[in-house]
Each structure stands twice: as C-alpha cells, then as structure tokens.
Amino acid sequence: MKIRTLIVDDMPLARKRIRRFLGAYPEFEVVGECSNGRDAVGAILDLAPDLLFLDVQMPEMDGFEVLEEVGAGLPPAVVFVTAYDQFALRAFDVHALDYLLKPLDEERFRRALERAKAQLKQSRAGETDERLRALLREVGARPKRISRMTVKSAGRTVILATDEIDYVESAGNYLRLKVGKETHLIRESLSRLEEKLDPEKFVRIHRSTIVNVDRVREMHPLFNGDQAITLHDGTRLVMSRTYREKLFSLLE
C-alpha cells in the first residue's frame, strides 16, 4: 500500500529536492505540493496524506500555524523541514518528532523516511498525534522570533537576514522592507511581522512603521511630541509620540 505524501515548502528548489529523493522509494506516492501555509491547510484536509513534509518558516502562515489550523485533521506522520530555527530543533528532539535541516542531505532524508514509516505503524495508538499536540502547546507558549525570512523579488527567492532590514512600512496590503539600497515587498500585516521580529532590535515608531534600532542615528522633536528620526543612511522617518517610550527605553 502506497504512503500518500504531501510536500509543503515555499521554496521550489526544496520541493523539487524532496520529490527527487522520494523517487528512490516506490512505496511513497507524492499526492500534492503546496508553496504556502494557507494552501497546505486545504490540501491536508482534502487529500488526507499519511506523511507530510512541512516547512517551518513560511510567510503569512508558518508550519506550526498550519498544524494548529488543521486541528483534528493532523497527518499520522510529519517531518518538519527547517533552515535555522534552533528553538524548533530543541522542541522536535524533546517530543521525538523528526526534522530535516536545509540544505537537505540524502542519507539524513533516508533515515527520516524510516522513522516516518515507524511513526505510521504507531499512529493507531495516537502516540504521534499526542507528540504533535505537545509540540504545538510548547511552541505556542512563546513568540516565534525569526532571524531570516524569504522574499520573492524579480522571479527569484531572496534569503534575507532580519538584521539587514533598516525599516518596514505598510504599503496597502503589503509591507515594504527597506534593506540598504534595495526594497522588497511581502504580503503580511505589520502586527504579525512585529510579533516575529526581535523586540530588542525592532520597534514600532508609528502605526505604519517599524524601525531597526541599530539604524537610528539621531532624533529631533517635532510639534505635539512627535519626533523626527534620521537613520544612518540619511532616511528621515516620523515617530509618533504614542510609540516613543519603547524606542527611548531601547536606546538608554
């Protein structure tokens, strides 16, 4: 009997690599691929896969949020795919859940498949399901801070270290990330991104702007308690008086 497998990753090369590795194991059948969390939720519920390869870091909805959304429809076996989330790696180890580090290694992939088959044998007892739920409780108990993110630009996917971001500002349904001389657009809410960024480095200065504290060069008072903020590259931003206390506390 075939092991129905769903691949979820926002990076095409990662999906292609997983599919290529799976090609050496005829007992695994790829029933679908998804490039984002929202599509993954629908595919999991519609296709009911036995095995799920799930990217942890995805824009808009990450891997953990996918599992929370799916709820009782959790697949019997899940292999997480991640590039850098050290907290996630520790959590996977604690709860005996398997993960693959990017870039994917063929021998490590083989071992993950063997563990997945073992998980499928145990799934009737509900052990895997309970481990997943324990992981979600633990991960959900603390903020999901990110140190890197992927952005699509001119037909390519750019891996962006968050420390490189100078500031973020709302642009309709998108966010504009200013990184040196480059500008990137992502579809995300400012509040959601703020929750993911390190609060010791990034601070909201306006309802539509987040700034990297390390980029701030000077501040000047404006009318009504607002402040003019100048960054090291000469960019000028306005900080509303509503948000100034947080920035001042980080600069002390």
Q: Tell whether 86 and 174 lie within a shared domain.
A: no
Q: Tell whether 75 and 127 lie within a shared domain.
A: yes
Q: Tell whether 61 and 86 lie within a shared domain.
A: yes
Q: Tell whether 10 and 126 lie within a shared domain.
A: yes
Residue recorded with tokens 């990450």: 62
Number of domains in the chain: 2
**Which of 140, 156, 172 represents a domain boundary (last residue)?**
140
H/E run at residue 138: helix 127-140
- Of all residues in the chain, the percent with pLDDT exceeding 90 is 44
pTM summary value = 0.57
Q: Tell whether 113 and 88 lie within a shared domain.
A: yes
Q: Tell whether 185 and 126 lie within a shared domain.
A: no
**Average pLDDT value over all residues in the chain:** 85
Other Cβ atoms less than 10 A from the Cβ of 177: the count is 25
pLDDT score recorded for residue 125: 46
Q: What is the pLDDT of residues 187-212, one digit of tens each?
A: 888 887 887 888 888 999 998 999 99
Q: What is the pLDDT of residues 97-149, one digit of tens each?
A: 788 888 888 999 999 999 899 888 876 545 666 777 777 776 665 556 788 88
Strands 51-55 and 3-8: parallel
Q: Tell whether 115 and 235 lie within a shared domain.
A: no
Distance in angstroms (rounded) separating the CA atoms of residues 101 and 108: 9
Give 84: exposed, middle or buried? Use CB within 10 Å, 0-12, 13-18, 19+.
Answer: middle
Which CATH number do you get for residue 237? 2.40.50.1020
Residue recorded with tokens 């990034």: 202
**Which of 115, 140, 165 represents a domain boundary (last residue)?**
140
Q: Tell whether 26 and 133 lie within a shared domain.
A: yes
Q: Tell whether 244 and 152 lie within a shared domain.
A: yes
Which CATH number do you get for residue 111? 3.40.50.2300
**Which of 84, 111, 140 represents a domain boundary (last residue)?**
140
> What's the average model confidence in pLDDT over 214-221?
92
- Of all residues in the chain, the percent with pLDDT exceeding 70 is 90
Q: Tell whether 16 and 108 lie within a shared domain.
A: yes
Containing structural domain, residue 103: 3-140
Q: Tell whether 164 and 134 lie within a shared domain.
A: no
Q: Tell whether 80 and 175 lie within a shared domain.
A: no
Instruction: Write the CA distances from 166 to 11, 152, 230, 234, integer angstroms.
Output: 25, 18, 11, 11
Least confident of 59-73, 163-177, 196-210: 59-73
